Amino acid sequence: MVFSTPRALFLPLAAAAALNVTFHADDSFDVTIDGTPWLSGGGVSVQSGGELLSTWSSTLAPTGPWEFYGGADVRGDFTARRRGYAAPGAAAPLVVVECLAYDGAVRFAQTFPAGLENTGGDGVVAEWPILGPNATGLGVLTFQGRFM
């Protein structure tokens, strides 16, 4: 099975709220709204060649530093960062992860430049962002689409 379709998570927000994503040196990140932490995340994993590769098991590593860029698309102006991850010693990334920050929204995406083979059937193929709440009693958060 070859899997190369990009996947994205888009978190829109009311225009009055200040949305921020802060990345840390260990690749973890926090999503804050008006300075209050709502979500935290970190780590990347991908099924390839019949095995699960991940940053937390050191079987998946960055292919270089974060690339920072900006632009505009149908959602508006954005600032962004992206980075590739590969098995240690491999030059070409298996997965490229990306975070685009808009005014009032953030979009997380992952792409597979060469596709993936032998992904293990019906299980999880790749994980990023891996999100979890870091506070309770804050209101409602909704996701659109299928996310693991």
For residue 131, the model assigns a pLDDT of: 80
Sign of CA dihedral 99, 123, 52, 58: positive
Name 11's bridge partners.
106
Question: The tokens of 30 are what?
Answer: 């926090």
Checking if the pLDDT of 145 tops 80, the result is no
Top pLDDT among 133 and 68 is at: 68
Top pLDDT among 125 and 139 is at: 125
Checking if the pLDDT of 32 tops 90, the result is no
Question: What gap in Å lies between CA 31 and CA 99, rounded to an integer?
Answer: 11
Contacts of 133 (CB under 8 A, 6+ apart): 38, 39, 40, 141
Checking if the pLDDT of 41 tops 90, the result is no
Confidence band of 78 (pLDDT split at 50, 70, 90): very high
Mean pLDDT value across residues 82-87: 95
Task: List the Cα angle 135/139/142 in 5-degree steps.
Answer: 95
Helix (H, G, I), strand (E, B) or coil at 113: coil
Question: What gap in Å lies between CA 55 and CA 97, rounded to an integer?
Answer: 13
Helix (H, G, I), strand (E, B) or coil at 96: strand
Helix ranges (DSSP H) in 61-128: none
Confidence band of 134 (pLDDT split at 50, 70, 90): low
